[in-house]
């Protein structure tokens, strides 16, 4: 199975915007990666961008190649179905032409497929298991210390050492101040271009009401909150039976990785 590379992902976004100009907006993100790449997102929807919106991102972890392809294919499917006035079918689930029309004409769907293009390029061409971005600022010239985990670089409890007892580190998945770690959280919250670009989308589209960060590991759907065992203030709204049929099931982020500086708690906390 082949996966899209960084250039192909960008070309796909530009191509979709060109093919469906009346219902898309190509968003040029302002923060360049350390290797000089500029990323784009795609807004799908008719009319001015002042409506309720959903943001879908993927590719934060370089070695999880599937997410960006999923985002691109979903955007292409949605646009084609709307253009042709047809239903959209995924497995045993179907969305009618009327439902697709309602989505496009009543919501903005914003897709940012490749949050971490430098890391993806390195993973696909040099070291497949690479996870972080390629920022060498904290490496001291050592290749093993290059990179920051974008998913630990958001501002929700970024300073994990101050927020948690030392024993919490025993889980091994909290975050790390060690640049050689795969979960190195960076020198400050939002220190990285990758996370700044995600924040930019939230700043530009404050009406975002739904957010999904796609990862291609584990087959789980993680929901907030991730800083304690059961803090979801909307726990009853998690559609457990539906999600169990689609995946291995929904679990609070705490149950898996007790994440600090992760996207979902950060962005949910900013919109409470």
Q: What is the pLDDT of residues 2-23, one digit of tens each?
A: 999 999 999 999 999 999 999 9
Contacts 24+ apart (CB under 8 A), 117-120: 117/6, 117/9, 117/10, 117/33, 117/37, 117/39, 117/59, 118/33, 118/34, 118/35, 118/37, 118/62, 119/61, 119/62, 119/63, 119/147, 120/5, 120/6, 120/59, 120/62, 120/65, 120/68
Measured CA to CA, the distance from residue 168 to residue 185 in angstroms comes to 16
Higher pLDDT, 129 or 219: 129
Q: What is the pLDDT of residue 174?
A: 74
Q: What is the pTM of this model?
A: 0.84
Q: Domains, the chain, ranges and CATH?
A: 1-130+192-217 (3.40.630.10), 136-190+219-272 (no CATH)
In the predicted structure, residue 77 carries a pLDDT above the cut 70: yes
3-class secondary structure, 42 = strand
């Amino acid at each position: 199975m082949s996966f899209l590379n960084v250039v192909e992902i960008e070309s796909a976004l530009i191509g979709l915007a060109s093919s469906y100009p009346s219902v898309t907006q190509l968003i040029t993100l302002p923060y360049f990666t350390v290797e000089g790449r500029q990323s784009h997102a795609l807004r799908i929807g008719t009319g001015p961008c002042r409506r309720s919106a959903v943001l879908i991102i993927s590719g934060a972890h370089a070695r999880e190649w599937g997410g960006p392809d999923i985002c691109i294919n979903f955007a292409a499917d949605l646009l084609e179905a709307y253009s042709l006035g047809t239903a959209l079918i995924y497995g045993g689930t179907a969305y009618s032409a009327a439902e697709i029309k309602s989505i496009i004409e009543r919501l903005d769907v914003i897709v940012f497929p490749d949050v971490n293009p430098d890391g993806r390029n390195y993973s696909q061409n040099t070291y497949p298991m690479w996870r972080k971005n390629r920022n060498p600022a904290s490496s001291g010239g050592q290749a093993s210390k290059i990179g920051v985990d974008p998913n630990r670089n958001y501002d929700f409890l970024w300073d994990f050492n101050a927020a948690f007892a030392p024993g919490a580190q025993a889980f091994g998945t909290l975050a790390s101040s060690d640049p050689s770690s795969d979960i190195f959280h960076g020198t400050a919250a939002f220190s990285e271009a990758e996370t700044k670009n995600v924040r930019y989308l939230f700043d530009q589209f404050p009406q975002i009401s739904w957010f999904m960060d796609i990862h291609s590991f584990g087959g789980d759907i993680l929901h907030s909150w991730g800083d304690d065992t059961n803090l979801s203030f909307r726990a009853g709204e998690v559609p457990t039976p539906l999600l169990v049929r689609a995946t291995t099931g929904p679990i609070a982020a705490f149950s898996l990785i007790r994440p600090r500086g992760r996207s979902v708690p950060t962005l949910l906390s900013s919109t409470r």
